[in-house]
Structures are given as structure tokens and as C-alpha cells.
């Protein structure tokens, strides 16, 4: 994901109107590489999204589809599988639709 700085108030590590590559995204923060080549965490309100990553686009589309299915009692889901690793962490989720 690429974001543009729209507020660098009290932050010497950012340049106003400069594009930055997002390394990680949290609900209220971005982790990105600063002008000093350091990883920094900044509020999302400091940035405007310029280009959404492919993974983010696919994830949002999947969440939208699953939200629709949830609201419609999973009417279009044929099969649902969750695969976990040896630690019990979710490794893969497989959903098959009727269409």
C-alpha cells in the first residue's frame, strides 16, 4: 500500500506530500519507512491512501462477501474448512460457494 503524508506536524521523520510504502497496517496506525530509513508507527490520520495493495483489495473483497453471507445466513456457502498448524494457529481457511 502506498500512502501520502498530509500532516507532518510534530514529526521530523515525515515529509509533507511525500509518498511512503506501508509495511504493516493496524486498525489505527501504519508502520512505514521514514525519511531517516527507520521503521516508524504513525496515526492513519496523517496519511491519504494513494494505492491500495493487491492483498488489501482481495482481503476487503473477501470480507465484504463473508459479511454478505453472514447477513444472509450463509445461503451460498457449500463447504467451509479451517486448517491449523501444529501450534493450533490458523494456517488456511477454505470456503466453497454454491456458484
Domains in the chain, CATH or no CATH each = 2-51 (2.30.30.140), 54-97 (no CATH)
* Distance of alpha carbon 31 from alpha carbon 10, whole angstroms: 17
Q: How far apart are the first and last CA of the chain?
A: 31
The pLDDT value recorded for residue 99 is 81
CA distances from 95 to 38, 53, 57, 63 (A): 39, 23, 18, 12
* Distance of alpha carbon 45 from alpha carbon 23, whole angstroms: 17
Q: What is the mean pLDDT of residues 22-45?
A: 92
Number of Cβ atoms within 10 Å of the Cβ of 32:
23
The pLDDT value recorded for residue 14 is 94
The pLDDT value recorded for residue 3 is 94
**Residues with Cβ within 8 Å of residue 9, at least 6 apart in sequence:** none
**What pLDDT, in 10s, does the model give residues 44-93?**
999 999 988 777 778 888 889 989 988 998 889 999 899 999 999 998 98
The pLDDT value recorded for residue 59 is 84
Amino acid at each position: 500500500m502506498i500512502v501520502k503524508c498530509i500532516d507532518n506536524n510534530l514529526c521530523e521523520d515525515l515529509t509533507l506530500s511525500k509518498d511512503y510504502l506501508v509495511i504493516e497496517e493496524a486498525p489505527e496506525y501504519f508502520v512505514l519507512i521514514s525519511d531517516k530509513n527507520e521503521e516508524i508507527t504513525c496515526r492513519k490520520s496523517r496519511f491519504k491512501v494513494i494505492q491500495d495493495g493487491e492483498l488489501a483489495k482481495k482481503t476487503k473483497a473477501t470480507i465484504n462477501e463473508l459479511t454478505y453471507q453472514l447477513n444472509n445466513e450463509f445461503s451460498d456457502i457449500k463447504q467451509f474448512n479451517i486448517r491449523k498448524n501444529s501450534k493450533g494457529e490458523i494456517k488456511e481457511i477454505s470456503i466453497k460457494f454454491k456458484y
